[in-house]
Amino acid sequence: MKFPPGFKFGAATSAYQIEGAWNASDKGRNIWDSMIHKNPSIIEDGTSGDVTCDSYHLWREDVQIAHDLGLHFYRFSISWTRILPTGFPNKISKDGVRYYNKLIDELLKKGIEPIVTLYHFDLPLSIQNLGGWTNPLIVDWFADYARTVFLMYADRVKTWVTINEPMIICDFNYNVGNLVPQITEEFLGPFICNKNVLMAHAKAWRIYDENYKEKYQGKISIANNPIWLEAQTEKDEELSERAREFGVGRYSDPIYSKEGGWPPTIEKIMAEYSKKQGFPYSRLPSFTDEEKKLVQGTYDYFSLNHYTSRLVRSARADEDPGLWYISGSRELNLVLEKDPQWPKTDFVYIVIQPEGIRRQIAWLNKRYHNLSILITENGLGTRSSDNYDTGRIHYIRDHLKQILLAIKEDGANIVGYTVWSLMDNFEWMFGQSMKFGLYDVDFSHPLRRRTPRASAHFYRNVIKHHSLDVPHPSHHWDKYRKTYNNGVTIKYSNCFLVLLVLLEHIICKLLLN
């Protein structure tokens, strides 16, 4: 159950989800600021990222809890409009630059490596108004932003992620349309966006490679978030492989494959299907030879976000495959389903199949020749504020076990693991109602009090012992809570109930320590 020497453990957050201070100093507006202020009802609980965890002011608290966990690294993102208020390099915010300088320096002081994501969903409103990720000029605008950030922080940040989850930004956003900026356009949107994201990533990677890599020896990747797709029956095996190519392959082949460009089978399918739809061209935009060379090889490791899996089967004759998270359901005439045996979660999209992460890693290694892989997100969301989060502990433990098996039995080169997330935050369309945190955040408290959950205690022990062979803290809590729930009734006086609550609090504190 031991992890190999050098294996690193971390936790992650993103700027809009934790920073707050949406209009502090000269920060510009992003798409979330704009959409939520216009229509707060788009968020399930009516909250926003205006304050959230208030990490803009409480960044020392964030560093301290990361230190208390014993994290080797902390992955966070930079707000594009906090650095470039207009979205463009005509103005650089001194206060924005100073904020991230303080955070990075404090992390290093505590012995925690900063891993920085340049873009995590919070596009400048000015750029969205010009077409966002479907405007090819965004490739140069993102490059300008990346160049600015590298200039400020490349001397201290050694690991970078350019863009988080392009499959969400493109496929999910344009197919489903319920995430900000809430634009639905299934025909061209996902595919134009797909190409532009890859081009933007490539330009940023090459800026770093040409100007900073030799001096600082840093590494850069793009964070892909494939759902593991496996055949429902043996006859669906070939279809499942096409589905994987349509998903992770479309966002990875142009970067990681020896040939470069789109997966050939998908390029052919898209050309044929587009023609049937009456398009005089493929809906999947082609790469020129120059563009293909620009994108190919722009990686130093594979950044993998993983949460869940699905089964793949052929659609029945009378069945419309519909649209889903990944494009290709209609083009491939397939349906994605959940295995009823996989445990459900409070987040309807996520079902639990820990073996999926090992199978996904095996697929990546076979296709792209044994990459160095960093797991940059993995975690469980719940609607419960309960700090005895047994489910989250099992989820993390079971996925870490599969990662160990991938390393020890499959020979995978996995260098680290990241829990999403360090603490509860603004979880996009769920607001504050969906909780992924190792630390509970009291959003009603003026100081946004951070309290460790049982999962924080568990994860801290895993890191400390560099092993999964550690006690499960919730065993003690579950036993205590069972006794408490069976033994206490409303017949007791209010005074005695107060004493019991205080006693519970003291015992929990002792167990956490």
Output the DSSP codes for 360-398: HHHHHHHHHTS-EEEEEE----BS---S--HHHHHHHHH
**Torsions phi, psi of 238, nearest 5?**
-65, -40
Query: What's the alpha-carbon Rg for the chain, to the nearest Å?
Result: 23
Q: What angle do CA 297, 300, 306 make, to 5 degrees?
A: 105
Q: pLDDT in tens for each of the 513 residues of the chain?
A: 999 999 999 999 999 999 999 999 999 999 999 999 999 999 999 999 999 999 999 999 999 999 999 999 999 999 999 999 999 999 999 999 999 999 999 999 999 999 999 999 999 999 999 999 999 999 999 999 999 999 999 999 999 999 999 999 999 999 999 899 999 999 999 999 999 999 999 999 999 999 999 999 999 999 999 999 999 999 999 999 999 999 999 999 999 999 999 999 999 999 999 999 999 999 999 999 999 999 999 999 999 999 999 999 999 999 989 888 889 999 999 999 999 999 999 999 999 999 999 999 999 999 999 899 999 999 999 999 899 999 999 999 999 999 999 999 999 999 999 999 999 999 999 999 999 999 999 999 999 999 999 999 999 999 999 999 998 765 555 543 433 233 322 222 333 333 443 454 454 445 444
Judge if pTM exceeds 0.85: yes
Query: What integer pLDDT is reported at residue 244 of this predicted model?
Result: 98
Set 61, 106, 165, 427: catalytic member: 165
Domains in the chain: boundaries? 8-472, 476-513
Q: How far is CA 443 from CA 13, 67, 386, 451, in A?
A: 16, 22, 15, 12
36 CB-side CA count, 13 A: 23
- How far, in Å, CA of 69 to CA of 58, rounded? 17
- 165 an active-site residue? yes
Residue type, 2: K
pLDDT, residue 116, reads: 99
Residue 485: C-alpha distances to residues 478, 500, 509 (Å)? 10, 11, 19
Q: Which residues of 105-125 are buried (b: 16+ CB within 10 A; e: fewer)?
A: ebbeeeebbbbbbbbbbbbbb
- The architecture that CATH gives domain 8-472 is Alpha-Beta Barrel (3.20)
User: Is 377 a residue of the active site?
Assistant: yes
| 443-474 residue pLDDT tens | 999 999 999 999 999 999 999 999 999 987 65
* Nearest-angstrom CA–CA distance, 266 and 226: 16
Backbone angles phi, psi at 274, to 5 degrees: -65, -40
Alpha-helical runs (H) found in 123-172: 125-128, 138-153, 166-167
Q: Are residues 439 and 451 in contact, defined by beta-carbon separation less than 8 angstroms? A: yes
The phi, psi pair for 77, rounded to 5°, reads -115, 160
Rounded to a whole number of angstroms, the distance between the first and last alpha carbons of the chain is 24
